[in-house]
Amino acid sequence: MLRVIKDNANTLTVTLTEKATVSNPIYLFKFTNQTSNVAYWFISSDTSQFKQRYNKFLLTEKNNANTLNGEITLGLEGRYDYEIYQTNLANTSGLSSASDAIENIVKTVEVGIVDVVFDAKEYAKYEVQYDTNIVYQPDPLNNNFTYILPFILT
């Protein structure tokens, strides 16, 4: 799952190279809001130094975005489905927006979910602390373990 913070520069790290069919492809991203079903498109440059291992893209979520330069204006906070496509474009000249590249899609190379949030707040993390242990005794006749009885640690 990817996470995008609104009104911020975000780094998206994914693995796309193993599914690409050409070297140095231009990738087209599509984010679709799961509630409104509105699609948002953008193109970003791969900044990874180790493209065989992972691909890294900078995405800036802001108003008046240039979708050909790794910028996007998303709608509501929430969950989005994402799809990343390989295109047959050599460059983005001649395009007025990322959605103009839809006709150049060659194949889908990644799908997943994006969590879009307004700030980088920490979400509650819960750790379960067990105070009851269950003891199992080996049962050599059946080659497995037999439940004995629980006991409480004090």
- Find out whether 46 and 86 touch, Cβ atoms under 8 Å: no
What tokens appear for 14 in the block?
């994914």
Domain membership of residue 146 (yes or no) is no
DSSP conformation class of 6: T
Please tell me the predicted confidence (pLDDT) of residue 59. 97
pLDDT of residue 50: 93
CA dist., res. 94 & res. 19, Å (int): 27
Q: Is residue 46 part of a domain?
A: yes
- For residue 57, which of 39, 72, 44 has the smallest C-alpha distance? 44
Structurally, the chain folds into a number of domains equal to: 1
Residue 55 CB coordination number (10 Å): 23
Does residue 58 form part of some domain?
Answer: yes
CATH code for the domain in which residue 64 is found: 2.60.40.10
Domain assignment of residue 126, yes or no = no
Domain around 27: 2-117
Q: Is residue 144 part of a domain?
A: no
Q: Residue 98 phi/psi, 5° resolution?
A: -65, -30
Tokens for 70, please give them.
Answer: 């790794």
- pLDDT for res 146: 55
| 98 alpha carbon, distance to own chain's centre | 19
pLDDT digits (tens, 9 = 90+) for 6-30: 999 999 999 999 999 988 899 999 9
DSSP element (H, E) containing 106:
strand 105-117
| Confidence (pLDDT) at 56 | 97
**What's the pLDDT tens digit per position in 64-106?**
999 999 999 998 899 999 999 999 999 999 999 999 999 999 9
The larger pLDDT score, comparing residue 60 to residue 132, is at: 60
Cα-to-chain-centroid distance, residue 115: 8
pLDDT attached to residue 151: 54
Residue 36 lies in a domain: yes
Measuring CA to CA, which residue among 37, 41, 31, 30 is closest to residue 95? 41
137 assigned to some structural domain: no
Match 């000249």 to its residue by tokens.
Answer: 93
Extract long-range pairs of 133-136: CB within 8 Å, 24+ residues apart.
Answer: none
